[in-house]
Each structure stands twice: as structure tokens, then as C-alpha cells.
Structure 1
Amino acid sequence: MGDIRANDDSYQLKSGAKQNAHVIVCGNEKGGSGKTTTSMHVVVALLKRGFKVATIDLDTRQQSLTRYVHNRRNWAKRFDLPLQLPNHFRFDTAEFDSRIESQSLDFSHLVQAISEVEDTHDFVVIDTPGHDGYLMRLSHSMADTLITPMNDSFVDFDVLGKVDPQSLEISEVSHYATMVREARRQRRVADDGLLDWIVVRNRMASLNSRNQERLHAALVELSMRLGFRISEGISERLIFREYFPMGLTALDDFEMMDKGGKPTVSHLSARNEIRKLIRSLRLPIDDVGRKRADARRSWLEKSSKPVDMPDIFAE
């Protein structure tokens, strides 16, 4: 049966005053793009600012975010560390002979979970699987902010769009980008909500190359057609992989690692990358972000009819 299952890193949600939680979805159909690492760093950044954060892991197979949170809780207990933790829930999909029946139950459980969480939390961060599916599409249609991490290569770019091998001009919008566009339309029809989409370039090379310049040009062209913003994310640093077993992030104090000593150059550089990424997301966490969110709500309230998406986003 599909369900939001509380594990030892979770707790049972209780009803409270409506806070209108901001839903952040980290999604990409390609595995290995850094979704879970990005998600966890966003979560810890919000927790360190004093926000109440709930997390939902929709990847029923890998459950990487679930294991990240579990590792963090265990590390905090082992060394009695004051690590901030989200209220985490993993998602188990329904298993019925009827696909419609399974999807119906998945839908009701996820909607119920989001509704309960947003009553008591400021932010909900959802980590999605690396493949298309019903829950993948449903979560995207619920998002206020969509983060799509991608490795800095044309292999990962192919998830968004296809290019001509000679001219590198955009020849076709890919499956995932089409799915996001449809999710935007569904969200607009459902509650007049706007989905802010940010494509995050991970594992960027330290030196500019001709290939990087071409990739950037292609991303800029596609962003104009699809309406997403572009941000730099995390580079290929060993330290990001070292954090996972401890459940730590670049934003945690260096002394919380088992090595001790002073912060390394790699640690400080990783922290600066994450802080830059968080600023680029423009979440409603400071005066600038809140003003932007208020402006969006004001515009929506004054809007007499839904935006005609086909006129804005290219086919």
C-alpha cells in the first residue's frame, strides 16, 4: 500500500495554523546529477536560518535522501552534536494490479502529506527519482520552486533539449522539459500558482573551455524558450562525497567531522559554492525573497485569467 511512512528520522505530523509552506522540488530524469546532494544542502541552509523544514523522499528504490538524513541523525547521536534535522518522510508507492488504483492511492497519500506538512512547516523539500513516473509528475505540479541539477555536459543537456551536432542550435525540446512545461500548466489551472524553475549546473570545470561556452550558449537559448533560470551549483569536489556517510554538508562546522583540525581550502570553497547557490534560488527567506514572493502573489490576485502558456513557452 502506498503511504508516507515515518521512520526513526521522522515524526507524526499534527494539524496547526496554516502557514502556506513553500514547496521545493529537486528533479531530473537523469541519475547522478546531484539531486540528493543539492536537496540536502538546501534543507540544511533553511534549517540554519531557523525555518521549520519537512522533507519527502519519493525515490522508493534508492532512497538516497532518506539515508542522508538517517546518517545525519546517527552522526549527531554518536558524538552528541547539535545538528539541525528536518522532519523526514519516505514514500512507499502503492502496489495494486490496477495501475489506476495504484495511482489514485499514491495521489491521495502525497496530497494528504503535503497538506499536513504545510500546516506546520515553512518549507517542504521533495527529492524525486531519476526516472519519469506518476509521482514524479505529480510532485512537479505541486512545486513552487523547481531545482533541476545537471552535470555540465551535453549528455545531461539532452534531458532538456536536443541540439544539432554541427550548429548546436536547439532542434527539439526533450521529454523532461516537456513534462515540466505541462506541470506548469496544471499548476496554473489548479490554483493560479507559478512554478519558478532553476537549472543548476553541477560539476563545472575550473577552466573555461570551448565546450563549456557552447553548452552555456545552448542553455541560454533554451532558457528563453522554456522560461527557466540558470545557476551555478556544486563542482566536482571529493569533499561533497565525503559528507554523505556522516550526513554532513558544507554548511556544517568543520569541527563536526571526525578529522578535526582547521577548515581546508576545499571545505571553504564548497561552502561558498552552496551559499552562492542558495542566493541564486531566490527563496522567500529574506527581505528580497519575501518581496519577490509577495509581488508574485499580488500579480496573481490581480490576474483575471490564466496565462496562455503556449504563447510564452515554445513548442
Structure 2
Amino acid sequence: MAQNFDSEGYMSRILVFGNEKGGAGKSTMAMHITSALLHSGATVGVMDLDMRQVSLKRFFENRTVFSKTHDVTLPMAEIGDIAAHEDITRPGWEKPAFEAVLDDLKSRFDYVIIDCPGALTPLSALAHAAADTLITPLNDSYIDFDLLARVDPETNAVKGPSIYSEMVWDARKNRALAGGKPVDWIVARNRLSSLNMHNKRKLGDALTDLSKRIGFRFAAGLSDRVVFRELFTQGLTLLDHKLVNSIPSKMSNVAARQEVRDLVLELKLPDLELAF
């Protein structure tokens, strides 16, 4: 993969998976995007900022165990363990610890994947400010849409952005004022259903209105497929099917891999040639 260095000598692109709501699919999407990058020959460092659940970190720990137990070589990401940093016991530890781990990963990997908790924390705010690409998974419901904006219940008109949208706006504005590259913000609609088409269309209209106001773009996310979750305990994704015989090559898995491929293409990452 081509390595493009910026003015500070770093070569990474930072992908942040974030919103303020749990259960939207951030970690699941981060695992599959990371797997896609690895299978395409990119080097990847990961940071898991959910200090309680650490799903992304656990995924790669499970992957290491599976690789050793089954004597199979799997493409691996390196975990940047912010919880192990020496500053974590000091007041205001978040910023120096975050920057130290991020700077180390940026200096050595093509991509840095950051998985944020389902809440606004100091670490989450730092990650959003650092993002080159921000991916916000969103389940197809008004409950999740409330994360982004307030809607008039009578007219379905967008009344204004939410606190989360305002936080992202401020992070992008401050980055621009500091002379940084623009943040590419992508809202990925996850677990789309064919049911209740009227509400689905209304929600789509509201998202389109909001995207014009605050500047994000859409991507199709991942469907509600069991295969996206069932391989977690082994540290695998369906993209590992050529290396692991226990992952069947059935048609539903082929369709699921295509969803991942389509999502990665929607991210429009420079110099990335997909190989899965």
C-alpha cells in the first residue's frame, strides 16, 4: 500500500467510529472495517476508548488466541492500550495519554482505527477532534436519529442539531481553524429493514435535510446478520473465510462480505485497493 506522509512525518489516516448511543453497531463496524483493511494489505493500529466494555480490544485478543490455538496465520492489528499508559493515574490524564498512544500508532501504521464509547467522554471528544474520517453508525429509528437532531413531531421537520452534532461541528470547525484537513463525516444507516416503509422514508427525508445543514454524507451500513456477531469470540470475521475452513462459503456470507466491501468503498479511502 502507498504511504503518504503528512507535514509532521506521519502516514496514517485516522478512522473514528463514534456516537453517543450504545448499541448502534460501532464496534461491529470497526471490527469489519479493520479486517477489510488488513486483508487488503494495509497495516492497522487500533485504540479502544470504551474503558469498560473494550469490545474491539477483546476482539483482537480473541483473534490472537484463535491464531495460536489453531496454528493459523491471521492478519493482525496492533492494540494501542491507552489504559496501560503511565499518565492514567494523574489528574487530566486523558489528553497526554491519548496523544502519546495515537502519535505512536500514527508513526507506524497506514491506518489508526478508534472505537469510541457510547457516551461523550474526554477521550471520545479527543478522538473526534483527531478524526480524518468519522463514521457514525445509526440504527434506522427515530430513537437513534435523536442522536443527531431534534424533529418536530407534527411536521417531521428538523428543528435543530443535537448536542452530539454540535460537538462534531465544533471539532471540525476547530480543526479547520488550526489549518487541519477537513473531516469526512459519514453517517452509516445500520440494520435497515423493509418493514414500515413510510417511517423509513420519513426518516430518510429528515436525514437528507440534516446532512445539508451540518455536512455529513450517507453510507449504507451493515444489515442485521448473525454472522456479523457470531464470530466475535473467535476473533474472526467472515472476511477470514479463505484462511479458516470453519467459516462456510454460503450465499448469505457472500452477500454479507459484499456489504462490507460496499461500506469500505463508500469511505473513499485514498490509495486503498480492496483485496477480499
Q: TM-score, normalised by structure 1?
A: 0.79
1:189-223 CA distance string (max 9 Å, x none): 23422100000011001457111111111111100
Q: Which residue of 2 aligns with 1:214?
A: 202
How far off its partner does 1:162 sit? 1.1
| Residue 41 in structure 1 maps to residue 27 in structure 2 | no
Identify which of structures 1 and 2 has the higher relative contact order when contacts are C-alpha pairs closer than 8 Å and 6+ apart.
Answer: 2
How far off its partner does 1:250 sit? 2.6
> Residues 125 and 95 from structure 1, CA distance in 2 versus in 1: closer, same or farther, beyond 3 angstroms?
closer
Matched letter for residue 129 of structure 1: P
Q: Which residue of 2 aligns with 1:277?
A: 263
| Residue 65 in structure 1 maps to residue 51 in structure 2 | no
How is 1:224-243 mapped onto 2 (pairs within 5 angstroms)? 224-243=212-231
Matched letter for residue 136 of structure 1: S
Q: Pick one of 4, 17, 22 that aligns with 1:26.
A: 17
How many aligned residue pairs are there?
Answer: 264
In the alignment, structure 1 segments of 5+ residues that lack a partner are 1-16, 288-315
Q: Which residue of 2 aligns with 1:168?
A: 156
How is 1:50-129 mapped onto 2 (pairs within 5 angstroms)? 50-92=41-83, 102-103=91-92, 105-129=93-117
> Residues 190 and 206 from structure 1, CA distance in 2 versus in 1: closer, same or farther, beyond 3 angstroms?
same
Contact map agreement 1:254 1:263 (CA 8 A) in 2: no
Q: Which whole-Å CA distance do the structure 2 matches of 1:95 and 1:192 have between them?
A: 28
Q: Which whole-Å CA distance do the structure 1 matches of 2:221 and 2:203 have between them?
A: 15
Matched letter for residue 241 of structure 2: D
1:75-133 CA distance string (max 9 Å, x none): 1111112211101123228666xxxx632x22112112222211111110000111011
Contact map agreement 2:82 2:101 (CA 8 A) in 1: no
Contact map agreement 2:80 2:105 (CA 8 A) in 1: no
Matched letter for residue 52 of structure 1: T
Percent identical across equivalent pairs? 40
Contact map agreement 2:88 2:94 (CA 8 A) in 1: no
Q: Which residue of 1 aligns with 2:252?
A: 266
Contact map agreement 1:18 1:118 (CA 8 A) in 2: no
In the alignment, structure 2 segments of 5+ residues that lack a partner are 1-7
Q: Which whole-Å CA distance do the structure 1 matches of 2:10 and 2:129 have between them?
A: 20
Q: Which residue of 2 aligns with 1:133?
A: 121
Report the 3-state secondary structure (helix = DSSP H, G, I; strand = E; otherwise coil) of the residue aligned with 1:23.
strand
Matched letter for residue 248 of structure 1: L
How far off its partner does 1:226 sit? 0.7
> Residues 213 and 228 from structure 1, CA distance in 2 versus in 1: closer, same or farther, beyond 3 angstroms?
same
| Residue 245 in structure 1 maps to residue 233 in structure 2 | yes
Q: Which residue of 1 aligns with 2:5?
A: none
Q: Which residue of 2 aligns with 1:188?
A: 176
Q: Which whole-Å CA distance do the structure 2 matches of 1:205 and 1:75 have between them?
A: 34
> Residues 257 and 129 from structure 1, CA distance in 2 versus in 1: closer, same or farther, beyond 3 angstroms?
farther
Q: Which whole-Å CA distance do the structure 2 matches of 1:254 and 1:84 have between them?
A: 12
Q: Which residue of 2 aligns with 1:3?
A: none
Q: Which whole-Å CA distance do the structure 2 matches of 1:48 and 1:285 have between them?
A: 15
Q: Which whole-Å CA distance do the structure 2 matches of 1:139 and 1:177 have between them?
A: 15
Contact map agreement 1:18 1:120 (CA 8 A) in 2: no
> Residues 18 and 192 from structure 1, CA distance in 2 versus in 1: closer, same or farther, beyond 3 angstroms?
closer
Q: Looking at CA atoms only, which structure, 1 or 2, has the larger radius of gyration?
A: 1
How far off its partner does 1:266 sit? 2.1
Report the 3-state secondary structure (helix = DSSP H, G, I; strand = E; otherwise coil) of the residue aligned with 1:102.
coil
How far off its partner does 1:73 sit? 1.3
CA RMSD of aligned residues (A): 1.9
> Residues 223 and 167 from structure 1, CA distance in 2 versus in 1: closer, same or farther, beyond 3 angstroms?
same
Q: Which whole-Å CA distance do the structure 2 matches of 1:119 and 1:76 have between them?
A: 26
Report the 3-state secondary structure (helix = DSSP H, G, I; strand = E; otherwise coil) of the residue aligned with 1:256.
coil
Contact map agreement 1:19 1:122 (CA 8 A) in 2: no
Report the 3-state secondary structure (helix = DSSP H, G, I; strand = E; otherwise coil) of the residue aligned with 2:239.
coil
